[in-house]
Amino acid sequence: MTALISKEIRSFLSSLTGYIVISMFLLLTGLFLWVFPGESNVLTGGYSTIEPLFVIAPWVFTFLIPAITMRSFAEEKRTGTIELLFTRPLTDYQIIWAKYLGAFALVIISLLPTLIYFYTVYQYGNPKGNIDTGATWGSFIGLLFLGSAFTAIGLFASAVTENQIVSFILAAFLCFIVYTGFDSLASLTNWGYAENFIRNLGINEHYISVSRGVVDSRDLVYFLSLDAFFFLLTATRIKSRKW
């Protein structure tokens, strides 16, 4: 299984697309934090914080992660190598898990350079270190949870089709719906007591909760359940294949 994880990472990083995707993520977040004028600009905002990063990153992830996962199963189907893949001495679940870990490792690689933003603000704050470290690390953890959920969604989308573009569009749409769709639905009308329940079905409510710096067990259960749900959907789709 380790070999398959390494293959997934090498496959992505050996293509120009991989570097373009990661570079675009860093470029977009960097421009909003350090260049574009506005409240998100760290230099002109007047506060020692990188909070704007954690507002921008989920939206960029909505497109970044589908770009990472779109090849996972779709490309294997298109080239016919999926038959060879499932002849390996691995179960369907192990193969899905390996592809998931490979894709999620790439999400982590994309996030690692953003630690430079934290280090920069920490060093040049007035006074030095004048940044809410707990909330910042909580936000990074929240991004990892969100990234794990988007990765599971992306894998499912890739398992549904053999067309990478269709996989990308479907994954981006599902990520958008799960991230902010339930918030929008809750605000459409007066749901009464059900409003809070509807909001809690979406990622955003739990992402905000984790970003406060405290990992609540309810948020942890939510993200694990969401990952497991799409993992099982992917496994069901894979098991329904007809050779």
- pLDDT tens digits, one per residue of 13-54: 777 777 888 888 888 888 888 787 777 777 676 676 788 888
The Cα–Cα gap between 179 and 173 comes to 10
**Domain span at residue 41?**
2-239
Stretch 225-232: mean pLDDT: 94
The Cα–Cα gap between 70 and 167 comes to 5
Q: What is the 3-state secondary structure (H, E, C) of 84-146?
A: HHCCCCCCHHHHHHHHHHHHHHHHHHHHHHHHHHHHHHHHHCCCCCCCCHHHHHHHHHHHHHH
Q: Are the C-beta atoms of residues 133 and 49 closer than 8 Å to each other?
A: no
The pLDDT of residue 242 = 47
Stretch 105-110: mean pLDDT: 90
The pLDDT of residue 44 = 72
| Token output for 84 | 């060879």
| Token output for 36 | 């574009």
Report whether pLDDT(215) > 60: yes
Number of structural domains in the chain: 1
